[in-house]
Amino acid sequence: MKQLTESVWQIDLGNANVYLLKGKQGLILIDTATHGSLRRLERKLKQQSIVLQDIKHILITHAHVDHVGGLKEIQAATQAEVWAHKFEASIIRGETAVELPSPDSLSQQDKLIGKMIGLMVGKRQDTAPVHHELEAGQSLHELFDGLELLHLPGHSWGHSGFYLAKQKLLIGGDVMMHLMPWLTRPLAAYTADMAQADKSIRLVNSLGLDALAVGHGAAIMKDAATAITRLSQKITKRKPSAYTAKARHK
């Protein structure tokens, strides 16, 4: 567990980061990593004298297996209330399927990377309850002072970040990745619409963030805006993406 601020911790569960916030009603967990993450999470919490039952709310950035694979078991153990954007909520409940890009739109390299990642994270994604369906821009001040949902579609249609306005910190899921020394786009093989994902990156760039914490890679806790601007400028120079958003999601 790495403390990012006085009230925010990053927990690396192997295939993805999850985040812990000290909220008004108890602890808030953001994302749950893959199936089988419960015991890893429990061990890391125990090192800080925290028990699972201290978690009262679970917020979900998006319903990909490396972010919600552990949701069913963690929710059952904590009895926490689950919050997710309405598009992701339907996937979590098993009502709709995750949308991925057409294989024909991917390069051979992207296809290979996608297969490798799929083998690493697995496919098990049990259905789970969602107690609160969220909308773009919805305030979550009742959970954490200054917290709001920032809708960042593209990687998935309900993909969202959780913005801590007073700290100018975004917990951004897979809106970007930080597995390299620099920020990158989300993986093409798992991004529903890359053109829309690029728009979300530009939206994040407009915030002038001090800090950015993502699902994969280290958090940037100082002058995050500079790193985000570099990525935003890089994608602006590229040719338009071949991915096309489906009208029903607009």
| Full set of structural domains in the chain with CATH | 2-249 (3.60.15.10)
Which pLDDT score, from 0 to 100, does residue 104 have?
85
Which pLDDT score, from 0 to 100, does residue 183 have?
98
Tell me the residue type at 103. Answer: P
pTM of the model: 0.92
Enumerate residues 6+ apart whose C-beta is below 8 A from 217. 17, 177, 178, 179, 180
- CA distances for 93 relative to 119, 126, 131, 133, angstroms: 24, 9, 11, 12
Enumerate residues 6+ apart whose C-beta is below 8 A from 67. 16, 31, 32, 33, 60, 61, 173, 174, 215
Residue reference for tokens 């800080």: 48
Which pLDDT score, from 0 to 100, does residue 244 have?
46
Taking only the tens of pLDDT, the chain with its 250 residues reads 999 999 999 999 999 999 999 999 999 999 999 999 999 999 999 999 999 999 999 999 999 999 999 999 999 999 999 999 999 999 999 999 998 888 888 888 888 877 887 777 777 789 999 999 999 999 999 999 999 999 999 999 999 999 999 999 999 999 999 999 999 999 999 999 999 999 999 999 999 999 999 999 999 999 999 999 999 999 987 755 544 444 344 4
For 15, phi then psi, to 5°, come to -95, -10
Round to whole Å and give the CA distance between 83 and 25: 14
Beta strand 55-59 with 81-85 is parallel
